[in-house]
Chains A and B, each alone.
Chain A
């Protein structure tokens, strides 16, 4: 019986080998097409991390048979034969090939049989970086809607494979009192030992993970505009700079940018995780301060700031802003901070964009402190709904502002975060369909050049476009969050500790 099974297996293997060889031979008799094949996602001419999951793709060229050959200067080539245009690259050989060609490049040859003729397209070449990308990506999956207290969650995805697991998801859509939204998941130095996220709605509060403990804090005080909103962990102190924002959202009646999110007021505060204290940093009524971000040395806090356009007498701010939201421009400012004495110093303007009728949002300082990656759009601060929003790089050493033309697209580019070593950054973009955000990664080399980005690899290539969820706030992490949903849920459903306000 055993012999019988063994012989069957041998026959199958032989047939498979024969067909593959025949296919290769057949593919050799090809017509050359002097252009790159159309593939989706676009994994052509980019730089890939050596630890990335296989970049499965769909061949968009018409054909009935597909043959793919992935080769490098080192390592075993990968041969894939498929009757479907979806090409799935086997994980183990892929990993071995990338490892063997670390710092080099790999070539992807695409052969498509259309009718009786095989077509050989120009070889796709991708570089493999020396530096690995942080292994995990966290994001919130949410419909591009305007209010959602039902089914949404913060997830983490291992970039070395396709495993996606929930960090926390809401499941209380039937519980009208306790339905809640979750947002702004943030980590200190890309590690999950120190992290937090906000809970809004029925079970509102901010969930902090600190020193192995989880606690829920109500960061709204009588002296602040709102509960804490946009965060930035201090690089080494148990403190977080937050903005507090009075935010409204309205809709464009016709513009396909759909939603306009506008701040009517915003301030900066500092939250001390251990003392549960909030104290003001900047609270000017005539200015909107928001999007704080620490320099890696912890001695400067960068933030965006706009002049208020609201006259004092205006009570119906929604209507007023219906005509004036386009007049709000944010500049990039910086305030000095002394970690030893815990005191803030002078404020200076780093980049003035309001004079150019443009607006800055989401500044993020690179881990080496040399650059700031930021978004520039036509107005306001909620760049995710502005198609004009693009990524720019500000060189802090020479003050040069450079648009990342090979990274940007005609659609929105918005939230972004650096990897722990600063060699990669991830950003959200709506380049696929204009509505659903997707994370893209770009290699940032030592000379300060950002390279052509690539999409988050998916097991099914169609998922890149097809998923009816937006990837919100992509953040790179060096390790996964180890706390269970149930543990988070226990804290979320419990009482919130009130934060104290210290003027």
Chain B
């Protein structure tokens, strides 16, 4: 029997958009609404100063969120007590206490951080191009982002293709990514909640990475406004040269013990008639565990089947795909999400 009541999936924090919120703070009122005195990252002289400001602002924001959530959690027991659920847990019975009051042994809460791949790439692009190579000033970079790279396709492609990306084989990048993962874990966990437990860091998004993309402005990694942001703890989709091996390698830079609230990796396995069979899966799973991975989402489908299913849903009612964190009948997905799943299978082919 389980003895855990983890409260999650109530706040999805779009990391890349938080950076936009800091660079263009005049356009967003949530800082003042939360009484946060913003440290302006764009005024920093060094990348260290920039990075510190970003992390500081994020931690202030997350602290405010934890406060809001805890106020709700305090009245949880009055509004929605859970006697049946509580009856399944030994400590609830022993303590004669509902789960909503903290009857379970483990009473954690967690925020979901979304788009960490895009977040890492964007910060790294600013570090490289603005602070190290000095090819752009901070103002020029902000102008590119504000205008969504209008008329500056060469710059957008430069940022997308010529700056190292998280997941690629680049030692400097790997150590930077490890640092971001670590810092985000530190600042999104540890706060006490109202049930006697603590906040734990987590990195999962179900399908929210797809919902949120429309509201995400252009990012410094060369991503257009409205384009997809990264999933779970995966590298960005448009990153070149990401295969199963590189994905595993990228896991090594992360200490997943920092993310007890779950950090999901996604991997699409293209299936073909001549595929190498189940042995491949065994090897991948072995490698995943060996490299210290936390949760792995497989999708095993071929593109043709999905394209057909999209055209002819009636005959594909039982086609189940792993969306992210859960599985669903393919035909039940929105057209946009269907296209997204189709595109994923094409990527690793």
A binds B: no
